């Protein structure tokens, strides 16, 4: 039950009563906090847990104080200083998972009047009070996710009591807040946060807890330039006695005197980072080198042990020299100079990262890097050397080196005619190619594995991109490279993975079934419909579609010619993550093996032990010329399966399905749904070139004769006719068909607007947020509108943030855009959509300046509307128009309790559908099947007219 307005006032009153005791407390030197450069408030006075009825209804808000009781009727509760360190404040850590109510307070010291914006991100219910008055109440509880509530405040000079009243019903309970000026979204000059009743000792302790210390080895070819960076991402105490000191030791003995970096760097805007450079260490050092660096911030000390050995700098210098010589064409015998250059670059990066961390893997990587350099310098090709090679491919998405491990078998000799199998191995969340290769082979050795007589490739695929979008593109690129580079039998390619990689293995295998023979999914997550934040929730038609895209089980029928091995530990609950796929596979009658050992999530310790899965993965051959094809696709980019190609969809948002069979020596029979364009290529293994061919499509016969292909399309009456449909300019096509997240699958530049100072920081933050949202570790450029190179229009899709008043590129494009921001609301071709002050939209369309690339538009009337875009769910269609009512979707896959003004898919001509209102219409089962509930007798717009087969 959410708090009523009266209930909120009651809680505020309980908080306020502490003021009666403040004047009686002895004087203390209270903590004064400067916000971070982003305006974060890093500490609060906390009271709780609060009972459900916590005080009288009189609302006045004098100052609370540390150690003071919370009112006469709540005398057993007292205020205490609390912080979340360098992140949000976790109230579950303080109160435990059962408690429900708490209050936070601080005093804002304001030197001059400011129109401010309070940005609060909190789980559950939220009420905000300023000087005893309620200024904001959240009507619906929800997870905070990335979302925040932008709350306008007017602050006169003087002290103001800011109070947050929090309540939740189980689950996470985190909160964080920022205070910025509405004029420029910077911390208001001179505004400080005060905590009455606190002490100098608490200021010292708070400074230590709010600090984030990073020690970098600073690998350079000449040696190391170590440095210490101390940041305060949630603010820092304003206290000249709080200093930063750095000391170096070797085997416990001090190396020189400690370095006193002085007081914390605090200016009018807030707490700035502090960088301390330590004495340089030459590459050929023979003297004393620290093995421990201690960084003391006030009363707290952290210790760091970077690896400053004498090997990595020299190796880095050699790698850079080799890279330069290859780029200059001095090694003409290399099979793939581009990959050698990328691999040298990645090895330098990896050496630096391992040196920074003091990682134990550094010696083994140094050994492999030395072998790599030796090979190039001696005009041998490191790509072709037996063993586990540390390589990198230039990513087709961002052009940056994307690391991978490649196992080259001991028996391989360049130039021989023998063909080998290939196994593609995908790592899990926050995993790495090195870790997953070690797990698959059962050893950390870089020598060729004696039991693995074949090639194994473990791509990074942009880290945690989930093998969708840029991750999917990079895996397919890595497979294509391996097939070009090594003597691999294309009929013996298999794929496997663990956890996130287990999901990726099935996703990629079902999307590209012509590539593989076998898929082995270990502890994967094969249906988004079984997630706790999806199960039982009513879905929009477009949400069903997007969840299906992310659910391999929804496309399981594409694996007709694949062998599936599925396994999950019985203690890794819920088992439905795997059984949802296994049940579907069994129902389809496909070839299946499943195991459920009594183990937790790390089922690969059994399944992959000592490379024992290699024979299963490589023991089958691909079905190259199937007589029976079952294929389902939601996009034209992946329309082809063997000798059938879906060339048109009836509507975007409804998958196409094809069931095609060689029915006789001269006949192919095809049944379809969801498509109005098809191409059938003669399956020459079964129907000879000289044999007159007849193709029957949904009961209509087409004599093909001896032609190699048949193209058919539907006429205006829905009947199939011979010939491909004539395409109009600007239609959706393969690779340019949406939805929004499809833009991340190719080079993409994020362009933030700088025309309006009141929005610039918001446009930049939103650009940075969406840059990382679907791309994993891909490095998409984030550029100001005034700095966008014209050449990038030809090479990149654009993600533009800001309205025409805020973004110069949007201003110039506005006339060619489907949606736009006006004073009245959101302009669309048939009228105007109106909402509240947080109105905005996000959508994708072809770039009017370069129709071969996407442009994605995120626009809002003001900074509040831009920040509200952080509440958009993960699953998004072609377009979505929102206002503050989207808030409950923060951190969710789907809208659930939230609502929007409009959402859906454009038609094939990038035109809006007749009905794009927000209408809940679909409920989904764990296998992605759907039905229209009895309360919705009409078929929802954009949904199939009957359940998909």
Q: Quick one: tokens of 200?
A: 């100098």
Q: Measured between alpha carbons, how far is 188 from 43 in angstroms, rounded to an integer?
A: 18
Averaged pLDDT for residues 348-372: 90
Q: Quick one: tokens of 352?
A: 């630096």
Q: Quick one: tokens of 322?
A: 């080799």
For the question of whether the overall pTM of this predicted structure is more than 0.85, the answer is yes
Q: Measured between alpha carbons, how far is 944 from 934 in angstroms, rounded to an integer?
A: 16
Q: Is the pLDDT of residue 937 over 50?
A: no
Q: Which residue has the higher pLDDT, 535 or 323?
A: 323
Three-state SS at 544: helix
* pLDDT band (50, 70, 90) for residue 15: very low
Q: What is the structure's pLDDT at 299?
A: 87
Averaged pLDDT for residues 11-24: 34
Q: Is the pLDDT of residue 780 over 70?
A: yes
Q: Are 311 and 347 a contacting pair, CB within 8 Å?
A: no
Nearest 5°: phi and psi at 701?
A: -90, 140
Query: Residue 773: which H helix or E strand, with range?
Result: helix 757-773
DSSP annotation of 552: G
**Angular region, 463: left φ>0, alpha ψ -120 to 50, beta rest:** left
Query: What burial letters (b/e) apply to 303-329, b meaning 16+ CB within 10 Å?
Result: ebebbbbebbbbbbbbbeebbeebeee
Q: What is the structure's pLDDT at 158?
A: 96
Q: What is the structure's pLDDT at 62?
A: 53
Pairing type for strands 667-673 and 31-34 reads unpaired
CB proximity list for 734: less than 8 A, separation 6 or greater: 635, 636, 637, 639
Q: What is the structure's pLDDT at 58?
A: 27
Using omega within 30 degrees of 0 as the cis cutoff, is the peptide bond preceding 495 cis? no
E strands, 35-100, in order: 43-47, 80-83, 89-90
CB proximity list for 464: less than 8 A, separation 6 or greater: 429, 430, 500, 776, 777
Q: What is the structure's pLDDT at 13?
A: 36
Using omega within 30 degrees of 0 as the cis cutoff, is the peptide bond preceding 254 cis? no
Q: Are 506 and 868 a contacting pair, CB within 8 Å?
A: no
Q: Are 521 and 581 a contacting pair, CB within 8 Å?
A: yes
Q: Which residue has the higher pLDDT, 762 or 261?
A: 762
Q: Measured between alpha carbons, how far is 522 from 505 in angstroms, rounded to an integer?
A: 9
Q: Measured between alpha carbons, how far is 87 from 174 in angstroms, rounded to an integer?
A: 10
Tokens 């991750």 map to which residue? 471
DSSP lists the bridge partners of residue 782 as 750
Q: What is the structure's pLDDT at 7?
A: 37
DSSP lists the bridge partners of residue 110 as 158
Percentage of the chain modeled with pLDDT above 70: 92
Q: Measured between alpha carbons, how far is 457 from 733 in angstroms, rounded to an integer?
A: 32
Q: What is the structure's pLDDT at 514?
A: 97
User: How distant, in Å, are the alpha carbons of 69, 208, 944 from that of 302?
Assistant: 35, 9, 59
Three-state SS at 887: helix
Q: Quick one: tokens of 134?
A: 């309620």
- Tell me the range of 49-53, 111-115, 927-931 where mean pLDDT is highest: 111-115
Task: Convert 679-699 into a string of H (helix), E (strand) and C (coil).
Answer: EEECCCCCCCCCCCEEEEECC
Q: Quick one: tokens of 683?
A: 């399956």
Closest CA to 404 of 336, 489, 492: 336
Three-state SS at 583: helix
Q: Are 620 and 518 a contacting pair, CB within 8 Å?
A: yes
* pLDDT band (50, 70, 90) for residue 52: low
pLDDT in tens, 382-410: 999 999 999 999 999 999 999 999 999 99
Q: What is the structure's pLDDT at 73?
A: 66
Averaged pLDDT for residues 142-159: 96
pLDDT in tens, 539-552: 999 999 999 999 99
Q: Quick one: tokens of 396?
A: 């087709």
Query: Residue 596: which H helix or E strand, with range?
Result: none
How much is the CA Rg of the chain, to the nearest whole Å?
31
Neighbours of 786 (CB within 10 A): 12
Query: What burial letters (b/e) apply to 798-824, b meaning 16+ CB within 10 Å?
Result: bbbbbbbbbbbbbbebbeebbbbbeee
Task: Convert 189-229 into a string of H (helix), E (strand) and C (coil).
Answer: CCCEEEECCCCHHHHHHHHHHHCEEEEECCEECCEECCEEE
Averaged pLDDT for residues 22-46: 77
Averaged pLDDT for residues 119-136: 93
Q: Measured between alpha carbons, how far is 763 from 800 in angstroms, rounded to an integer?
A: 9
Q: What is the structure's pLDDT at 398?
A: 95
Torsion over CA: 714, 716, 721, 726 (sign): negative
Q: Measured between alpha carbons, how far is 797 from 852 in angstroms, rounded to an integer?
A: 9
Q: Any idea what the Cα angle at residue 344 is, between residues 340 and 345, rounded to 5°?
A: 120
CB proximity list for 851: less than 8 A, separation 6 or greater: 730, 736
Nearest 5°: phi and psi at 430?
A: 60, 20
pLDDT in tens, 129-140: 999 899 999 988
Q: Are 200 and 241 a contacting pair, CB within 8 Å?
A: yes
* pLDDT band (50, 70, 90) for residue 18: very low
Averaged pLDDT for residues 58-80: 71
Q: Is the pLDDT of residue 192 over 60?
A: yes
Q: Measured between alpha carbons, how far is 903 from 875 in angstroms, rounded to an integer?
A: 11
Task: State the chain's mean pLDDT as an integer.
Answer: 90
Q: Which of 32-41, 249-258, 717-726 has the lowest mean pLDDT?
A: 249-258
Q: Measured between alpha carbons, how far is 530 from 207 in angstroms, rounded to an integer?
A: 44
Q: Measured between alpha carbons, how far is 74 from 55 in angstroms, rounded to an integer?
A: 7
Q: What is the structure's pLDDT at 61?
A: 46
pLDDT in tens, 241-283: 888 999 999 888 998 889 998 888 887 777 889 999 999 998 8
CB proximity list for 235: less than 8 A, separation 6 or greater: 33, 34, 35, 36, 40, 41, 42, 43, 193, 210, 270, 271
């Amino acid at each position: 039950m959410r708090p009523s307005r009266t209930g909120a006032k009651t809680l505020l009153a309980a908080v306020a009563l502490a003021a009666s005791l403040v004047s009686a407390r002895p004087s203390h030197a209270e903590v004064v906090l400067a916000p971070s450069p982003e305006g974060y408030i890093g500490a609060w006075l906390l009271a709780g847990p609060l009972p459900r009825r916590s005080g009288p209804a009189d609302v006045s808000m004098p100052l609370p104080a540390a150690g003071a009781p919370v009112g006469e009727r709540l005398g057993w509760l007292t205020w205490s200083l609390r912080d979340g360190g360098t992140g949000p404040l976790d109230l579950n850590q303080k109160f435990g998972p059962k408690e429900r109510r708490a209050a936070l307070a601080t005093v804002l010291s304001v030197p001059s009047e400011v129109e401010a914006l309070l940005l609060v991100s909190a789980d559950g219910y939220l009420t905000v009070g300023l000087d005893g008055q309620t200024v904001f109440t959240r009507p619906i509880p929800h997870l905070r996710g990335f979302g925040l509530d932008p709350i306008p405040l007017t602050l006169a000079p003087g002290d103001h009591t800011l109070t947050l009243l929090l309540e939740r019903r189980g689950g996470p309970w985190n909160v964080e807040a920022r205070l910025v000026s509405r004029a420029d979204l910077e911390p208001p000059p001179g505004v400080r946060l005060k905590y009455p009743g606190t002490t100098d000792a608490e200021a010292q302790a708070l400074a230590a807890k709010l600090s984030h210390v990073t020690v970098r080895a600073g690998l350079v070819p000449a040696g190391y330039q170590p440095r210490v960076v101390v940041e305060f991402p949630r603010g820092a105490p304003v206290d000249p006695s709080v200093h930063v000191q750095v000391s170096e030791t070797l085997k416990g003995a001090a190396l020189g005197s400690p370095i006193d970096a002085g007081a914390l760097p605090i200016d009018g805007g807030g707490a700035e980072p502090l960088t301390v450079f330590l004495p340089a260490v030459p590459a050929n050092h023979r003297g004393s080198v620290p093995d421990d660096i201690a960084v003391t911030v006030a009363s707290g000390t952290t210790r760091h042990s970077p690896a400053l050995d004498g090997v990595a700098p020299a190796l880095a210098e050699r790698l850079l020299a080799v890279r330069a010589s290859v780029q200059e064409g001095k090694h003409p015998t290399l099979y793939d100079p581009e990959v050698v250059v990328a691999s040298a670059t990645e090895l330098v990066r990896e050496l630096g990262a391992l040196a920074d961390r003091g990682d134990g893997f550094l010696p083994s990587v140094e050994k492999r890097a030395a072998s790599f350099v030796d090979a190039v310098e001696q005009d041998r090709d490191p790509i072709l050397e037996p063993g586990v090679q540390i390589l990198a491919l230039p990513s087709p998405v961002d052009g940056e080196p994307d690391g991978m491990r490649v196992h080259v078998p001991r028996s391989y000799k360049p130039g021989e005619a023998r063909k080998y199998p290939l196994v593609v191995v995908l790592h899990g969340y926050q995993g790495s190619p090195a870790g997953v290769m070690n797990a698959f082979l059962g050893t950390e050795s870089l020598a060729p594995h004696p039991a693995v007589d074949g090639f194994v490739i473990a791509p990074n695929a942009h880290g945690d991109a989930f093998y969708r979008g840029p991750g999917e593109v990079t895996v397919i690129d890595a497979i294509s490279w391996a097939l070009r580079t090594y003597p691999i039998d294309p009929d013996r390619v298999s794929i496997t993975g663990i956890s996130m990689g287990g999901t990726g293995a099935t996703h990629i295998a079902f999307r590209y079934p012509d590539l593989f023979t076998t898929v082995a999914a270990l502890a994967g997550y094969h249906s988004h419909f079984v997630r706790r934040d999806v199960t039982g929730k009513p879905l929009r038609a477009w949400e069903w579609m997007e969840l299906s895209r992310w659910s391999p089980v929804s496309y399981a029928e594409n694996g007709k010619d694949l062998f599936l091995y599925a396994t999950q530990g019985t203690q890794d609950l819920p088992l439905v993550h795997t059984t949802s796929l296994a049940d579907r596979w069994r129902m389809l009658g496909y070839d299946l093996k499943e195991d459920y050992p009594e183990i937790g999530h790390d089922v690969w310790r059994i399944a992959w032990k000592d490379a024992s899965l290699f024979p299963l993965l490589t023991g089958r051959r691909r079905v190259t010329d199937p007589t029976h094809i079952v294929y389902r696709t939601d996009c034209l980019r992946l329309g082809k399966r063997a000798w059938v190609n879906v060339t048109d969809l009836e509507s975007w948002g409804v998958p196409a399905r094809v069931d095609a069979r060689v029915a006789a020596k001269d006949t192919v029979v095809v049944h379809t749904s969801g498509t109005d364009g098809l191409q059938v290529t003669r399956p020459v293994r079964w129907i000879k070139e000289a044999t007159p061919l007849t193709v029957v499509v949904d009961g209509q016969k087409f004599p093909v004769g001896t032609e190699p292909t048949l193209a058919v399309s539907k006429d205006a009456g829905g009947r199939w006719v011979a010939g491909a449909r004539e395409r109009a300019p600007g239609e959706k096509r393969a690779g340019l068909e949406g939805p929004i997240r499809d833009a991340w699958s190719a080079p993409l530049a994020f362009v933030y607007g700088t025309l309006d100072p009141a929005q610039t920081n918001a446009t930049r933050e939103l650009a940075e947020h969406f840059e990382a949202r679907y791309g994993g570790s891909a490095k998409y450029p984030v550029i100001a509108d005034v700095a966008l190179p014209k050449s990038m229009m030809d090479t990149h899709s654009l993600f533009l943030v800001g309205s025409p008043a805020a973004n110069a590129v949007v201003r110039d494009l506005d006339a060619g855009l489907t949606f736009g921001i006006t004073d009245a609301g959101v302009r669309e071709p048939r009228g105007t959509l109106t909402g509240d002050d947080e109105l905005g939209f996000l959508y994708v369309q072809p770039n009017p300046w370069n129709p071969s690339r996407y442009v994605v538009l995120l626009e809002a009337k003001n900074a509040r509307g831009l920040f509200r875009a952080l509440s958009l769910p993960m699953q998004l269609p072609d377009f979505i128009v929102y206002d503050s009512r989207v808030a409950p979707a923060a951190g969710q896959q789907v809208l659930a309790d939230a609502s929007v003004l409009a959402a859906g898919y454009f038609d094939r001509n990038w035109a809006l559908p007749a009905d794009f209102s927000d209408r809940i219409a679909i409920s989904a089962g764990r296998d992605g099947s759907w039905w229209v509930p009895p309360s919705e007798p009409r078929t929802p717009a954009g949904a199939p007219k009957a359940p998909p087969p």
